[in-house]
Amino acid sequence: MSLAPWPTDHWPEGVPREISGFEKPLFSLLDEAARRAPDKIYTIFNDGTRTFSRVRDTANRVANFLLSRGLTKGDRVAIFLPNIPQYPEIYFGILKMGGVCVTCNPLYTASELNHQLKDAGARAMFCMDHSKFYPTTVEAAAGTDVETVVVCNIKSYLPALKGFIGGLLGKIPKADSHQPGHLFFDDVVAAAAVQAPVVDIDPVKDLAVVIYTGGTTGVPKGAALTHANFVFNVMALHAWMRVPQETGGTAETLRTDGFHCFLGVLPWYHSFGMTIVMLWACHTANRLVCIPDPRGGNPPFTEVLKAVQKYRTTILAGVPTIYAAFANHPLLDRFDLTSIMGCGSGGAPLPVEVAKKIEEKTGGIIFECYGLSETAPLATGNPSNRETRKFGSVGFPVSNTDVKILHVDNGEQLPRGEDGEIAISGPRVMAGYWQKPAENDKAFRLIEGRRYFLSGDIGHIDADGYLVITDRKKDLILVGGFNCYPREVEEVLYAHPKVALAAVVGVPDAHSGEAVKAFVQLVPGETATAEEIIAFCRQRLAGYKTPRSVEFRDSLPTSVVGKVLRRVLAFQNLAPRSKQHFLYFLPLPQGQGSLRPTFFFGGGGASSNASSSPNGLRPETASGDFKVS
């Protein structure tokens, strides 16, 4: 069933309404790049490089290693890593043996990670050799189906001299000790066969990745995505973004085979960084700079600016908090960022003044998009030109994609200009939530013969055909662009022996847009301090989910059936609920963890997890929705 032209006079020139050829295995992107440009560089990490042919060969070895451990097609394998160069090798290796990648936020606590490993039924796991991440792995794997743990050290991925000196000075991250039976990445790769195994993949039906998200309900669950979901998304993105690639040139799709350099500042465990950065760089056989810790340097983000200048980065995808950090960086004028040609933004509305400053400094174009982990993630995008993009909107549905606005109560389709729930259809939409049939019944609707995903976001289509996000259907909290679901925090609060009732809401915060605030009613006769409650939560939650403040009350407002009324508490705190009122900044490090970018291009959000992180590796990013969570 063909799609009608989208009702607008501003559809980007040259972009097809429909594309084809995406029904192929996801790992074919790497194989094709390695055949076409074997000696071109794929990953760059602290000046150490890996070519496409070498990444392909290592991925083949990873696949053969997993098969030798008894894993078979359909088995889930967890990747608990920041943006280090082993990531794409492991990711494609899992796919090449027919496995399913379970991407894990490297800032998760052991209890959060344990839940994800159990729910996914992961049989193997790749983690980092690091004083924080490795112990978390050991604790989280207990009581799960994980039988094989592979530890990745970055030393062999550095230039020889840097690796030698770093090892000599103790600068290379390393765990204090290792568990018997755990294996090392370099060893298993060296011992495995280089010939790619033969695996039969049905791209439309077979799963490639499970990405955990809060979905529209806030209950963590896995968005199960197929090979074709991702291949289509990369191809649609490539067709959509058209920018001039030389002075005075006309807009065109990105040039391939080493012409461009992508900045890997968004976490690859999340669909935003995974698709828009790691996979798109592979599809176009272009370079990818690995940034495990975006906040590195003094002041923070200095190392990222250095990387842009040093490697002449041309393509940048980020959330508004990252662009704000760039635009307001005290040393910004010391760096040459004019290599940047195109920037995609998502996760929250992008302040116009920030966009203007970035474009003035770089000369490139910046535009907003929207999507979710459940849509792999890109679903809509502004045209990538200054003439027809519209700030405050998230553009039009990209190729092969349809969007409808439905009444939040009765599901009827609404006319232009009226707010309702955003429903998305197309080959980008996930197969469903992992082993959650009841959730799937709620998440999908058949309309005019097409399957639509109910996003949980509220918006409308304006008079010119642009999609505008206006609100969030659920009570999620956006911390620095990452989605925090109140229910998850409240469950931790209820585990405290002194807490009788608890509720969590988002309150305005100068650094992160919103911060988590807890309201607590204590068990009669008990006393507690805010510091005590926060410390309890910090041990059990990622940094961005931990309450910044606690207010004790004699009683909390409840409904007639005894449900604590969060919205009443939010109103009493005068916390703005419209995302249009939020100004996002990356949260500062706190305790064990800290930030994590959320990823969703452009507007409100209904799901997921995103993160960026460490290298020395200090974790600094959060989990959220692509929406670019």
Three-state SS at 423: strand
For residues 319 and 300, the answer to whether their CB atoms sit within 8 Å is: no
Give the pTM: 0.82
474-497: string of b/e by CB count within 10 Å (b at 16+)? Answer: bbbbbbbbbbbbbbbbbebbeebe
Q: What is the pLDDT of residue 601?
A: 26
For residues 355 and 204, the answer to whether their CB atoms sit within 8 Å is: no
Q: What is the pLDDT of residue 567?
A: 76
In angstroms, what CA-CA distances link 453 with 176, 275, 626? 46, 19, 15
CA–CA separation, 269 and 334 (whole Å) = 32
For residues 465 and 8, the answer to whether their CB atoms sit within 8 Å is: yes
Query: Where is pLDDT greater, at 457 or 169?
Result: 457
Task: Tell whether the model's pLDDT for residue 613 goes beyond 50.
Answer: no
Q: What is the pLDDT of residue 473?
A: 66
Question: Residue 96, by phi and psi: left (phi above 0), alpha (psi -120 to 50) or beta?
Answer: alpha
- Residue-wise pLDDT for 244-261, tens only, equals 999 889 999 999 999 999
Beta-bridged to residue 264, according to DSSP, are 290
Give the type of residue at 600: F
Domain extent listing, the chain: 52-200, 221-467, 482-581
| Lowest pLDDT segment from 70-74, 321-325, 455-459, 489-493 | 321-325
* Residue with the two structure tokens 């996914």: 120
In angstroms, what CA-CA distances link 535 with 217, 406, 531, 548? 27, 42, 6, 10
Task: Tell whether the model's pLDDT for residue 525 goes beyond 80.
Answer: yes
For residues 345 and 366, the answer to whether their CB atoms sit within 8 Å is: yes
Task: Tell whether the model's pLDDT for residue 216 goes beyond 60.
Answer: no
For residues 513 and 351, the answer to whether their CB atoms sit within 8 Å is: no
Give the type of residue at 249: G
Average pLDDT (349-361) is 86
CA–CA separation, 319 and 493 (whole Å) = 30
- Would you place residue 350 in the very low, low, confident or very high pLDDT band (cuts 50, 70, 90)? confident
Strand ranges, E, within 443-591: 444-447, 450-461, 467-472, 477-479, 482-484, 499-509, 513-522, 549-552
* Residue with the two structure tokens 């291009």: 601
For residues 398 and 380, the answer to whether their CB atoms sit within 8 Å is: yes
**What end-to-end distance do the CA atoms of the chain give, in Å?**
30
Beta-bridged to residue 453, according to DSSP, are 424, 444
Would you give the distance in Å from CA 159 to the centre of its chain? 29
* Residue with the two structure tokens 């995903």: 453
Residue 449's φ and ψ, nearest 5 degrees, are 85, 0
- What dotted CATH number matches 221-467? 3.40.50.12780
For residues 622 and 598, the answer to whether their CB atoms sit within 8 Å is: yes
Q: Token digits for 307? A: 């990387």
Q: Please count the residues of the chain.
A: 629
- Residue-wise pLDDT for 194-212, tens only, equals 999 999 999 999 999 999 9
- Residue-wise pLDDT for 24-48, tens only, equals 999 999 999 999 999 999 999 999 9
Give the type of residue at 335: F
Residue 96's φ and ψ, nearest 5 degrees, are -70, -20
CA–CA separation, 397 and 385 (whole Å) = 16
Average pLDDT (182-190) is 98
Q: Token digits for 435? A: 């082993």
Kind of pairing, strands 76-80 and 100-103?
A: parallel
Same fold, 52-200 and 482-581: no
% of the chain beyond a pLDDT of 90: 71
DSSP state letter for 272: H
326-362: string of b/e by CB count within 10 Å (b at 16+)? Answer: bbebeebeebebebbbbbbbbbbbbbeebbebbeebb
- Residue-wise pLDDT for 385-403, tens only, equals 999 999 989 999 999 999 9
Q: Token digits for 31? A: 């194989």
Beta-bridged to residue 593, according to DSSP, are 590
Average pLDDT (46-70) is 98
- Would you place residue 563 in the very low, low, confident or very high pLDDT band (cuts 50, 70, 90)? low
CA–CA separation, 451 and 277 (whole Å) = 28
Task: Tell whether the model's pLDDT for residue 585 goes beyond 60.
Answer: no
- Residue-wise pLDDT for 323-347, tens only, equals 888 888 889 999 999 999 999 998 7
Of 3.30.300.30, 1.25.60.10, 3.90.1200.10, 3.40.50.12280, the CATH number of 482-581 is 3.30.300.30
CA–CA separation, 43 and 482 (whole Å) = 26
State which of 166-170, 264-268, 468-472, 605-609 shows the largest mean pLDDT. Answer: 264-268
- Edge to edge, the sheet with strand 183-184 lists 183-184, 148-152, 124-128, 76-80, 100-103, 207-213, 221-226, 432-433
Strand ranges, E, within 351-449: 365-371, 378-381, 396-397, 402-406, 420-425, 432-433, 444-447
* Residue with the two structure tokens 């966009």: 355
- Would you place residue 121 in the very low, low, confident or very high pLDDT band (cuts 50, 70, 90)? very high
Task: Tell whether the model's pLDDT for residue 621 goes beyond 80.
Answer: no
Angle at 373 between CA 133 and CA 232, to 5 degrees: 115
For residues 628 and 346, the answer to whether their CB atoms sit within 8 Å is: yes
- The stretches of 39-174 forming alpha helices (DSSP H) are 52-68, 86-96, 110-120, 133-141, 160-169
Q: Token digits for 92? A: 């494609």
Cβ burial of 574 (10 Å; 0-12, 13-18, 19+) is exposed
Q: What is the pLDDT of residue 219?
A: 61
Angle at 57 between CA 178 and CA 133, to 5 degrees: 25
Task: Tell whether the model's pLDDT for residue 559 goes beyond 80.
Answer: no
Cβ–Cβ contacts within 10 Å for residue 2, how many?
6
Three-state SS at 276: helix
Q: What is the pLDDT of residue 587?
A: 28
In angstroms, what CA-CA distances link 8 with 161, 166, 383, 461? 56, 56, 12, 10
For residues 520 and 492, the answer to whether their CB atoms sit within 8 Å is: no
Q: Token digits for 97? A: 């043996």
Q: What is the pLDDT of residue 341?
A: 97
How confident is the prediction for the chain on average, in pLDDT? 87
Q: Which sign does the torsion angle of CA 14, 18, 21, 27 carry?
A: positive
Which CATH architecture is the domain 52-200 placed in?
3-Layer(aba) Sandwich (3.40)
